[in-house]
Amino acid sequence: MKKHIALIFASLGVFLMLMYRPLWELFVTGNTFAAIGNLNWTVMHAAPFIIAFYVCYIWLIPEFLFKNKIKTFWIANLLIFLAIFLIKFPILKLFNYVEFNGYLTFLIPNLLTDGLVIGTAIGIRYYMKSVEDLEKERENQQAELQWLKNQLNPHFLFNTMNNISSQIYTNPDEAQENLSRLSEVLRYALYETATDRVPLHGEIDFMKNYIALMALRCSDKTTVTTDFPVQTNDAKILPLLYISLIENAFKHGISNKEESFVRISLKQFQGKLVFEAENSNFPKKQENRSGHGIGIGNLKRRLELAYPDKHSFTYGLNGDGNYCTRLEVEI
């Protein structure tokens, strides 16, 4: 639809540019007889340039100029101009709309008019291309964000269901509570994240449930602590932004044989959300590093798309040998 609107305005602009003489006589001087005479001359004179405009706008620019075939583009326009010149001059002379004072005096103004028409077509076409490219980039970003945010690790679901299944016989009340948590996690991920931004309190509730379910795999040797201070405004955030960081903290931070810990916090101050995760470091062996780095790569991509120049992301070992992650985003 936008392409058609642009073409209509482009056509109107070229029409007004080529019809200025009869329009001036009709609406400014009020000389109807002169306006009709100028209209006849303009139709004979302008019609070929209108055809040249459409050929250039619809075919030559996208087929040659956009494909970087610049020489071919200008050669094609030159051939079209020569065809216009060779056809139009005899017709105008036949109807006594032009006096023959040499080809050069007729060639130069027509060449300037043709150049103006081609320049107008190029300018409008490139403007529309920039608008189309921007829209396409925005659509691609939305599609990529939608794909990235709707990912729940299937291992998480499998392990959680196994843990809940084992609790049914040993602690049915806790199993029921965890089943409710899993239901909330799935509901949130599938239905509540259908928008670009979600309320911060909803994301925090999701994180609490998600961490509680992740903690089911931990033994008594692992301590899991969280700190999510009560937020005082209606801040919104990209959905499921911290899921990969939480997964990594549990994946590489817990041990069933040694003392281990996972600490996760999310605080808000000075217009920023600050997520911090610290965990003991028990890196997986090389043969057990499936998907290693994919979550971080996806997160970086999401941050680039949603928070360009408005985020800070650092991670690595600290002086105590623990793994630390810090992510700041402006809201």
Q: Cβ(248)–Cβ(214) under 8 Å?
A: no
% residues pLDDT > 90 (the chain): 26
Is 114 in the same domain as 132? yes
Give yes or no: residues 168 and 96 share one domain: no
Please indicate, yes or no, whether residues 259 and 244 belong to a single structural domain of this protein: yes
Q: Mark which of 124, 147, 170 sits at the end of a domain.
A: 147
Number of structural domains the chain divides into: 2
Given 113, 147, 181, the domain boundary residue is 147
Domain that holds residue 47: 2-147
Residue identified by tokens 């990209």 is 238
The number of angstroms, rounded, from the C-alpha of 315 to the middle of its chain's C-alpha atoms is 27
- Band of pLDDT at residue 312, cut at 50, 70 and 90: very high
Whether residues 124 and 166 fall in one domain: no
pLDDT tens track for 130-186: 878 877 777 776 666 666 555 566 667 777 888 888 888 888 999 999 999 999 998
Residue-wise pLDDT for 216-230, tens only, equals 988 889 999 999 986
pLDDT in tens, 246-275: 988 998 888 888 999 999 999 988 889 999
Phi-psi region of 56 (alpha: psi -120 to 50; beta: other; left: phi over 0): alpha
Looking at the structure, do residues 104 and 154 belong to the same domain, yes or no?
A: no
* Residue-by-residue DSSP string for 84-152: HHHHHHHHHHHTTSS--S-HHHHHHHHHHHHHHHHHHHHHHHHHHHHHHHHHHHHHHHHHHHHHHHT--
Residues 138 and 184 grouped into a single domain: no
What CATH number does the domain containing 201 carry? 3.30.565.10
Is residue 24 within 8 A of residue 91, CB to CB? The reply is: no
User: Does 200 lie in the same domain as 63?
Assistant: no
Q: Both 141 and 218 in a single domain?
A: no
Q: Which of 87-96, 203-212, 247-256, 285-294 has the highest mean pLDDT?
A: 203-212
* Residue 83, pLDDT above cutoff 60: yes
Please check whether residues 315 and 208 belong to one and the same domain.
yes
Residues 78, 160: one domain?
Answer: no
Taking the model in full, what pTM does it have?
0.58
Are 324 and 278 contacting, i.e. CB atoms less than 8 angstroms apart?
A: yes
User: Would you state the pLDDT for residue 232?
Assistant: 63
170 and 64, same structural domain? no
Are 116 and 132 within one domain? Answer: yes
Q: Among 100, 119, 147, give the residue marking a domain's end.
A: 147
Condensed to tens digits (0 to 9), the pLDDT of residues 34-65 reads: 666 666 666 667 777 878 888 898 899 999 99
